[in-house]
Amino acid sequence: MMELKNSRIDKKELRGDALEVLAENLEFCGNPGLSLAFRRAASVLKSLPDAPRRLEETQHLPCLGEHSRAIIEEISEYGSCSRVEEILNDERYRTMKLFSSVFGVGPKTAENWFCRGLRTFEQVLNDPSIRLNRMQTAGFLFYEDISKPVSRTEAIALKIIVEEAVTSVIPSASVSITGGFRRGKEFGHDVDFIIKTPEAGQEDSILPAVIERFKRQSILLYSDLQESTFDLRQLPTHRFEAMDHFSKCFLIVKLKGEQETGRDWRAVRVDLVAPPLERYAYALLGWTGSMLFERDLRRFARLERGKLLDHHALYDKATNTFLSANTEEDIFTHLGLEYIEPWQRNA
């Protein structure tokens, strides 16, 4: 039996961190398929109550391919994995990671900057041939603040601010925290909110009104409003599309409170989504995540149940009908599953 001999092993490595480095690198190299396989394997390791102590303990685990197991074995024997170390020291990986940590900079832009020979923020900001868009400009301007994790306490403080703005426009509307915080996470990179509006059409007017209010309160640092492109008749997509078609906005807002920096506020990334009432449950399920959970649930719906699920709807291919749902429970029932609590969706 193969024991995990090295007592100095950083357990995080065996909890999937090493596999995440591989996944991230594959993403940067434009190989999303293989990247996803490593993300799944990492997620399985993270879901275990303890890091595996023996290689054999990983044998029965799902989603752990030969490649992932070989890496676990190497880490267990030598305390590290040479391929992972190589990636962590690789100039391209390091630069791509740095650049794509800026709000508004995706892998394509990061690669473009890297290929131009740029390696630091200073070089990017001083390069006269680079024109940053509005989002990237805000990304650099508030980099320090928005790179800092947002705490649950801060998320709750923001909820009060969003709620106040929403109900001042539509008193019977309601606001719920979604994303990682709804899954019980203590920290997030942003705070996601979903807005429930009681009457048809209000989902399109609420976000511009909230943005206006934040502006008047001088707490709006950045906003990108995306109007709805949602069509009730559109079938859920076969592909996993990250973005939904609902009315939504990506914001940076000022949150008041003493900071280590000595300032009395910090900048926080906030996302708001406002779906039409009849699709609220689907939007809530889609925005609660995690991304891997969403992916797997949609895959299950398609392969095991012959149904198409996305952020907007559930469609039964056998009867060619949309299945209506008032709550997330209804959706799980349509799929023949017991209700899965948000905290159980941290895949």
CA distance 179 to 284: 9
- The nearest distance, CB 269 to ligand DCP, in angstroms, is 8
d(CA 140, CA 125): 9
Active site residue 90: no
Taking the CB of residue 189, how many other CB atoms lie within 10 A of it?
A: 15
Asked whether residue 192 is marked as a ligand-binding residue, the answer is: yes
Indicate whether 156 belongs to the interface with ligand DCP (CB under 6 A): no
Q: Is 286 in the site for Mg ion (CB under 5 A)?
A: no
190 forms part of the interface with Mg ion (CB under 5 A): yes
Q: Does 52 bind Mg ion (CB under 5 A)?
A: no
Task: Please name which of 168, 175, 164 lies closest in space to residue 273, comparing C-alpha atoms.
Answer: 175
Residue 192 or 203: the one with the smaller Cβ distance to ligand DCP is 192
Separation CA 330–CA 336 (nearest Å):
10
Pick one of 16, 52, 188, 236: the residue that binds Mg ion (CB under 5 A). 188
- Phi first, then psi: give them for residue 13, nearest 5 degrees: -60, -40
Q: Say if residue 264 carries a ligand binding annotation.
A: no
For position 103 contacting ligand DCP by CB under 6 A, the verdict is: no
Active site residue 296: no
Please tell me the distance from the alpha carbon of residue 97 to that of residue 105, in angstroms, as a whole number. 10
Give CA–CA dist 250/224, Å, rounded: 5
Beta bridge partners of 158: none
Contact status: 188 vs ligand DCP (CB under 6 A): yes
Q: Amino acid identity, residue 345?
A: R
190 as an active site residue: the answer is yes
CB closer to ligand DCP out of 159 and 189 = 189
Contact 203, 196 (CB under 8 A): no
Site residues, Mg ion (CB under 5 A): 179-180, 188, 190, 192
Binding residues for Mg(2+): 190, 192, 271
| Site residues for ligand DCP per CB under 6 A | 179-180, 185, 188-190, 192, 242-243, 286-287, 289-291, 294
Catalytic residue numbers, as ranges: 190, 192, 271
